[in-house]
Every structure is written in structure tokens, then in C-alpha cells.
Amino acid sequence: MKKELNGISYTDLENEIISLGIERYRAKQIFNFVHNKKIMSIDEITNIPKKTREILAENYTLNKIKIYDVFESKEDETVKFLFLLNDGNIIESVIMKYKYGYSQCVSTQVGCKMGCEFCASTKEGFIRNLSASEILDQIYCAENYLDIKVKNIVLMGSGEPLDNYSNVLNFINLVSDENGHNTSLRHITLSTCGIVDKIIELSKEDLPITLSLSLHSPFDDKRQQIMPIAKKYKINDIIEAMRYYFRKTNRRITFEYTLIDGFNNRPEDAKELRSLVKGMDVHINLIPLNPIKEFNYGFDGNKELEKFYNLLVKNGLKVTIRREMGSDISASCGQLKRRVLPKKEE
């Protein structure tokens, strides 16, 4: 099988082309066309000789994904994409516009194994990992379509990034390469449900990316009720791994905390959260629950969020409420794909 030209690191490309009889300096030209000009086929690398293009095409393919559908929010400038992969699978990704630039939430897997009760992405089960180029191409496709440059990347779409470790790491290396997209590692956030051994492995990579833990409750028994993975990894072990990450990278940790009224917003939750984060630079991101049909705790989200926010602040914690964006286009957590696909396939 041919290798993916848009999934190889700069250094590997240099080494591989030399063994194919292509001069080393061509790597820069090829990488530039693939990652900055975002070409759709190897034929378009017009700054190298035809013969070199032919050698490349004999050995590599460009794994490009396609836009399947686009939804633009009327409430804000959020844009949601459904992308079609070469094997017919569909994934989603969201672009959000903030004061400081564009931020994109990308998927790392088709479906997910983790089984969180409240999450739409996991309801179809796990289908497969995305390759590094498929993660990257979500960004290139969106940038081309909107004529923008994405500044911040969050690995928070469907899938568990640490369950697709090597492809996600290759993606991070590719997207931050100074010869390519050149995203600052500090502008990349990886969100995980807490896979301890992989958090430790990631710490050792010494990458200054932001690590975000989907905590959702400071108590193991409660967490287990909504997140099956919590049966395998206990909060104390996850926190210890997060502390290790913090010591190695000096990067502030974030906790994501989806508020489920009556379940994880009691005074004892705030107190336990405070004792969990002692001695760590942690930022808590409160998220309003986006109800799905399998997990529908309808409530006056804003009022409860604000109340719990105040309680956490009173406990000395650093907290922000994640603004809900693009709610008119179901811009979160695998919801759009579930809503749109059955209709399209009718």
C-alpha cells in the first residue's frame, strides 16, 4: 500500500526521498506544497520536475477528505463541517471565531470506545482511528472553504485522542512543523477522559500543549455512573498523572466539567474539587450539558451553571463557563452527524 504523503513528518520525508533518489532539498518544496498550498493531488507540485512527481506518485498517495456538508450558525460565526472520508465514513469538526482568532475542534476517531453516557459520539460505537492526515485535513479543508487560518486547535471532537496515540502525536508534530502549518504547540489542547498510562507517555514527549481532563465529578463512584472508563482508572491515579504532566511541561492543566444538575453540582462536589486540585495550577471549564435523547436532564442550564460557578469561585478555584456556541446548528459532540445523516440517507 502506498504511504500517505500528507501524513509524513518533514524529517521522514527528507530521509525517504533520498532513498528514492530525490535530492534532500526537494523535501522543503514538497512539504510546502502539501501543507501550505494544500494541494489536492501530487500532480500539483509544480515546482519539482515531472520525473520527480512521477516517482512520488508511484510511492505515495495524498489522503484528502471531502466536505460532505456545511452548517453556518446564524447566532454567531460558528461553522460546522461534516467530512466524508475515503472509505465512506463521516466525521465532524467545528470552527469557532473568537476575539483572538479562529479555533477548530477536530475529531480523532470515527465513533468512540469510551461509552460516556451523555456523549453522542460514542452511541454508534467505535468504528476506526483517524490517520494523522485525516485529522490534519479537517483543518486544511475548513481553512480553504472559509479562506481563513486556524490559530487554535482543540482535540475535542469525536473520539478519545489518547486511544489513537501515535496518529494523534504524528498529527501534532505535522501541524506544528515550521515548514508547514506552523501552529504553536501552546495553541493546541488535547482533551482526554483520563487514560493514565497515556498521560504519562505524553508527559515524556515534553510538548507544551494544554492537557485537559474530562473530570465531570470529583468522586470515583459518581464518575463511574456516567463514564465507563472511570472503572479502569481512579481519580487519584489520574490526578497523579496530571501532576506529573504539569511538572514535566509546566503547562497549566484544565478540567472539563459538564454540569449535570443534582448530580455533580452539590456543595460537596465543590469542596472535593478544591481538595483535588491543591498545589496544582488548574483551570476549570464548566460546560452546559447538551442533552441527547439517551441522556436528557433538561434544566435551566444557565441559572444552575452560574450558581455552581459562584460556589467554585468561593472555594478559591479558577473557573470559566464555556460559552455555548452554534447551538442552532447542533455544534457539539457528534450531535449534528446523528441529526443529519438519517435524513440524508432516507
Q: Which residues of this protein are in contact with ligand SAH, per CB under 6 A? A: 114, 116, 118-119, 156, 160, 191-193, 214, 256, 258, 287, 289-290, 292, 333
Enclosing H/E stretch for 12: helix 10-19
Q: Which of 4, 92, 160, 256 is the catalytic position?
A: 92
- Main-chain dihedrals φ then ψ at residue 253, nearest 5 degrees: -90, 150
145/297 with CB nearer ligand SAH: 297
333 is catalytic: yes
Q: Are 265 and 310 in contact (CB under 8 A)?
A: no
Least distance CB 161 / ligand SAH (angstroms): 6
Interatomic CA distance for residues 280 and 153, integer angstroms: 24
278/293 with CB nearer ligand SAH: 293
Least distance CB 160 / ligand SAH (angstroms): 4
Interatomic CA distance for residues 158 and 109, integer angstroms: 6
Neighbouring C-alpha atoms within 13 Å toward the C-beta of 124: 20
Interatomic CA distance for residues 55 and 52, integer angstroms: 5
What single-letter DSSP state applies at residue 66? E
Least distance CB 272 / ligand SAH (angstroms): 18
One-letter identity of residue 153? I
92 is catalytic: yes
Least distance CB 274 / ligand SAH (angstroms): 20
76/115 with CB nearer ligand SAH: 115
What's the grid cell of residue 312? 467554585
52/332 with CB nearer ligand SAH: 332
Catalytic residues, by residue number, are 92, 333
